[in-house]
Amino acid sequence: MIPKIIILFTVLAVVAARRSYQGYKVYEVLQETVNQAKFLHQLEQSNDSIDFWHLSKQLNDRARVMVPPGAQPAFIADLMRNGFQFSVLIDNVESTIQNNAAVASRKPIPIENSILHKYLRHSDINSYLDELANKYASHVSVVEIGKSYEGRPLKTITINENANNPVILLDAGIHAREWIAPATALYAINQLVEHATNNKNVLSNLTWVILPVVNPDGYEYSHEQERLWRKTRKPSGRCSGTDGNRNFDFHWGEVGASSSACSETYRGDTAFSEPETQAVRDALLKLKGRCKFYLTLHSYGNYLLYPWGWTRTLPDGWREIDEVAQAGAAAIKKATGSRYTVGSSTNVLYAAAGGSDDWAFAEAKVPISIIMELPGGGSQGFNPPASAIERSVKESWIGIKAMALKVAQKY
Ligand SMILES: [Zn+2]
């Protein structure tokens, strides 16, 4: 028999294993000069312990940086030495996470409502897809396109399959902590399947293939252990996880991706080292020629970004993509007043090679390839409260539909 004291210690160890963000602060740092922008960019590349939630190359933009307590004195000294204006955006990251968890766990609600009011777990998301495939078997199907490193099924839902239609491939959740992305994909699925009559214009001559959670291991880990986990979960040396959005085999590892396994932007041991990125690759290759629009959902910052991510040069065909992205931004602006910034990843943010959108455009020959950086949670960054899901996903769906319509007109 196992002594009670050992059971108690085991329980304590499991509870204690959840990572605490006690004392972690998020700073907002105004970059007013080219040298200041350079300084922050170098810091992002060289320091694995601080976590840039937002960084662009635009002057007068405010970077957002999460810094653990031990690194704060040196960080502040650096900022003062370089003449930055800065302020504390989140005083204690742990308390924002706990506030949200308390609201989210209050009471169970039916699945269709829960899409709007809570962040569903991966198994619930997959159950919902299966439920839809059963209920709407004539035009909805679910396929397992692979398994994650920890063995979770990667399921796509195909809506309105017709071999003559152009295909839209929508994915979300390659970055684990960006929970609003899978929530948005789920709302899109809900609208296209259960509210088809309201969405006829984007169903009549389009086929949708949606993978709501690319990185379920990281997604579950961010629910269970570390709210701000970003990468996959496969170990590499003494650290775990690869940045899936630096792992695609197009100019892999050349710029804006780390070769250090402990970095948040680790490119992986090789290109396509992760089963999750392999699954997206294979899904896109299977649709080569048919897939006209690849849309990948991230958070946060209200951006619609397109190739290239590895160089500031624009690719042939960028005007077509820009037109689609502008249609999305304009529709959202008209509906709610929210503004999106539109442009190539490198020109708007920073060069980062190995992204799925570059690969889809260059190798899978998808002519319209866009990253949508969804709205965040205001001062809470990646962690929008569950009460903000409904407003956010409804607004984003307006933009997604407008882009899909534009694509349908073109192909
Ligand atoms: Zn992301």
CATH number for the domain harbouring residue 37: 3.30.70.340
Q: Which of 220, 264, 373, 395 is catalytic?
A: 373
395 is catalytic: no
CA 406 to ligand 1 centroid distance, Å = 25
Strand partners, 295: 170, 370
Closest Cα to residue 346, out of 315, 312, 306? 312
Q: Is residue 13 part of a domain?
A: no
What is the structure's pLDDT at 8?
Answer: 46
Say whether both 55 and 178 belong to one domain. no
**Could you tell me if 46 and 169 lie in one domain?**
no
In a domain, 61, yes or no: yes
Instruction: Quote the ligand 1 centre to 12 CA distance (angstroms).
Output: 33
Last residue of a domain, one of 70, 101, 132: 101
**Are residues 46 and 159 both part of a single domain?**
no
- Whether residue 7 lies inside any domain: the answer is no
Spatial distance between the Cα atoms of 355 and 339, rounded to a whole number of angstroms: 24
Helix, strand or coil, per DSSP, at residue 305: strand
For the stretch 249-294, pLDDT in tens is 999 999 999 999 999 999 999 999 999 999 999 999 999 999 999 9
pLDDT tens per residue across all 411 residues of the chain:
444 544 444 444 444 478 999 999 999 999 999 999 999 999 998 888 899 999 988 899 999 999 999 999 999 999 999 999 999 999 999 988 877 766 555 555 567 779 999 999 999 999 999 999 999 999 999 999 999 999 999 999 999 999 999 999 999 999 999 999 999 999 999 999 999 999 999 999 999 999 999 999 999 999 999 999 999 999 999 999 999 999 999 999 999 999 999 999 999 999 999 999 999 999 999 999 999 999 999 999 999 999 999 999 999 999 999 999 999 999 999 999 999 999 999 999 999 999 999 999 999 999 999 999 999 876 677 778 899 999 999 999 999 999 999 999 999
Total domains in the fold of the chain: 2
Residue 167 lies in a domain: yes
Same domain, 63 and 190: no
Q: Which residues contact 134 (CB under 8 A, 6 or more apart)?
A: none
Spatial distance between the Cα atoms of 151 and 137, rounded to a whole number of angstroms: 26
Query: Are 144 and 283 contained in the same domain?
Result: yes
* Residue 19, domain member (yes or no): no
- CA nearest neighbour of 238 among 260, 214, 216, 218: 260
Q: Are residues 206 and 189 part of one domain?
A: yes
298 Cα–ligand 1 center, Å: 4
State how far the Cα of 389 lies from the Cα of 97, in Å rounded to an integer.
15
Q: What is the CATH number of the domain that holds 194?
A: 3.40.630.10
Closest CA to 303 of 332, 342, 334: 342
Q: Which residue's structure tokens are 């503004």?
A: 339
Among left, alpha and beta (phi > 0; psi -120 to 50; other), residue 23 is: left
Whether residue 88 lies inside any domain: the answer is yes
- Nearest alpha carbon to residue 351 among 222, 253, 272: 253
Per-residue pLDDT at 184:
98
Residues 283 and 243 occupy one common structural domain: yes
DSSP structural state of residue 55: -
Shared-domain flag, residues 182 and 69: no
Domain that holds residue 88: 25-101
Kindly state whether residue 177 falls inside one of the protein's structural domains: yes
Number of other residues whose CB lies within 10 A of the CB of residue 163 = 7
**Could you give the CA distance from residue 265 to residue 252 in angstroms, rounded to a whole number?**
12
What single letter denotes the amino acid at residue 1?
A: M
Q: Are 20 and 94 in contact (CB under 8 A)?
A: yes
Q: Are 243 and 355 in contact (CB under 8 A)?
A: no
Task: From 101, 135, 156, give the residue that closes a domain.
Answer: 101
Residue 57 phi/psi, 5-degree rounding, is: -95, 0
pLDDT, position 383: 73
- Does 85 share its domain with 113? no
Cα–Cα distance, 374 to 300 (Å, whole number): 5
| CA of 78 relative to ligand 1 center, distance in Å | 27
For the record, the structure tokens of 134 come out as 């059963």
* Judgement on whether residues 181 and 224 belong to the same structural domain of the protein: yes
37 and 174 together in one domain: no
Rounded distance from Cα 372 to ligand 1 centre (Å): 9
Final residue belonging to a domain, choices 101, 127, 148? 101
* Within a domain: 158: yes
Q: Residue 176 C-alpha to ligand 1 middle, in angstroms?
A: 8
Q: How far is CA 221 from CA 11, 122, 231, in A?
A: 18, 11, 10
**Beta strand pairing status for 25-31 and 85-90?**
antiparallel
Q: Do residue 238 and residue 372 come from a single domain?
A: yes
The per-type count for the chain, helices as H runs and strands as E runs, is 13, 14
Largest CA distance in the chain: 70
Instruction: Return the pLDDT at 104.
Output: 59
Question: Residue 28 pairs with which residues in a beta bridge?
Answer: 64, 87
